[in-house]
Amino acid sequence: MRIHLSALGCRLNEAELEQWASSFTRAGDQIATDPDEADVLVMNTCAVTREAVRKSRQKLQSLQRANPLAKLVVSGCYSELTTSSELAELGVDLVVPNTEKDNLVPLTRLAFHQPDMPQAATQPNATALFTRNRHRAFIKIQDGCRYRCTFCIVTVARGAERSRAVHDIVEEVRQLSSNDVKEIVLTGVHVGGYGSDLDTDLESLVRALLDDTDIPRIRFASVEPWDLSDEFMRLFENERVQPHMHLPLQSGSDTVLRRMARRCKTDDFNRLTTTLREAVPGFNITTDIIAGFPGETDQEWQDSLTFIQTQAFGHIHAFTYSEREGTKAASLPDPVPTAVRQQRSKQLHQLGEQLKQQQLAQSLGTQAAVLWERGKQVESPVGEPLWRHQGYTPNYQRVVTHSSTNLANRITHTRLERVDNGKLQGVVL
């Protein structure tokens, strides 16, 4: 079969996509880049906000229009929270619950697989990662979350915590490394809770990856700030563990954090970020913030902005609060008017861009080891071949460079010289 894979939402959805791609190719199926070339369309959906729900529905409609003869397989949080009749109206042929995601490939092949093996099947050991034009791999290490932040629908859709065995993750990373992948990102719903059901923890997993694989760069997806111990901090003494973390703050007001049922106060968060930056100069911290949470007063919002300004975030993923049926926050009193939510979201975006530009300016004149992603050839003023590449520093700052050679999937020492259109411009040394 020819399989087209697509996803919306979090890095965990991307990690699952990569697992499915590898499993389909090992079974002898092909990965189709374009939906109109596929026999089966697989969509990993999202429902974290109402906008994500809209986009998931819109993407399913787009896939169905692009190839109405293909079978449509859906998984992810949108499909988990949507009625079967609505999914049927969208042309969905198979729904795979979140709890069965690890079995999506055999369930799909059982439902739709043709008896004849395709002649041009991808080699079983080949990775499908590069077919999606990326040189870092997302590794799903766990699913589900034990906490119940009042705004979060994902914990409802994803269920209880379930961790993968250390040896399974190590073997996956070894395979990726053998296929010349240079960087992995550890993902999950509650990454910091890894191993709670296996009598182990995230620190032990990372140490196993450092000891038993040769992957050059290890990075983390979103990690809750209360999950980081002093022992965990020492992981960053190893240069293979990249000095960047996405730590969701959600609000800079302690009273709002309490209504959100967050387990971290602003003082705790500040101590954590200070410790990380003292341990590794240039450590980049990015975050999530929700604007317009129920009951958020003008004073609470100003308190939040004031605290955020002290944190020097490299990026703020700003969310305008949207009610999600099934969450406790949806029933909280004193909802913030929509116009006020939008105004606060605009302020937050402006502050986030200001902080980002300040951080980029501080990087000018320094050198960094940049992992370059696949580039494209552009016109050269002198008529010689010229490649334009984008890549990422260890602390996850995006860099653009031009080179006479193809730098794809190489790590090079690069001087960061200027900022242009919000991006660092570098010169390979």
Tens of pLDDT, residues 95-141: 998 888 988 999 999 888 644 333 333 333 334 444 444 568 889 99
H/E element, 273: helix 266-279
Q: Give yes or no for a contact between 116 and 146, defined as CB atoms under 8 angstroms apart.
A: no
**Does residue 389 have a pLDDT over 80?**
yes
Is this prediction's pTM over 0.85?
no
Q: Are residues 145 and 285 in the same domain?
A: yes
Q: How many helices (H) and strands (E) does the chain have?
A: 13, 19
What local confidence, expressed as pLDDT, does residue 113 receive?
A: 66
Using one digit for the tens of pLDDT, what is the confidence trace for 328-352? Answer: 999 999 999 999 999 999 999 999 9
Mean pLDDT of 6-10: 85
Q: Is residue 119 part of a domain?
A: no
Mean pLDDT of 49-61: 89
**Does residue 355 have a pLDDT over 90?**
yes
Count of structural domains, the chain: 3
Q: Is residue 346 part of a domain?
A: yes
Please say which residue of 345, 363, 381 terminates a domain. Answer: 363
What local confidence, expressed as pLDDT, does residue 134 receive?
A: 57
Reported as a pLDDT band with limits 50, 70 and 90, residue 283 is very high
Specify the amino acid at residue 357: Q
Strand locations in 84-202 (E):
94-95, 136-140, 142-143, 162-163, 183-187
Q: Is residue 124 part of a domain?
A: no
**Does residue 382 have a pLDDT over 80?**
no
**Does residue 17 have a pLDDT over 70?**
yes
- What CATH number should be reported for the domain holding residue 97? 3.40.50.12160
Please say which residue of 363, 378, 406 terminates a domain. Answer: 363
Q: Are residues 188 and 322 in the same domain?
A: yes
Mean pLDDT of 22-46: 90
Domain that holds residue 372: 367-428
**Does residue 61 have a pLDDT over 60?**
yes
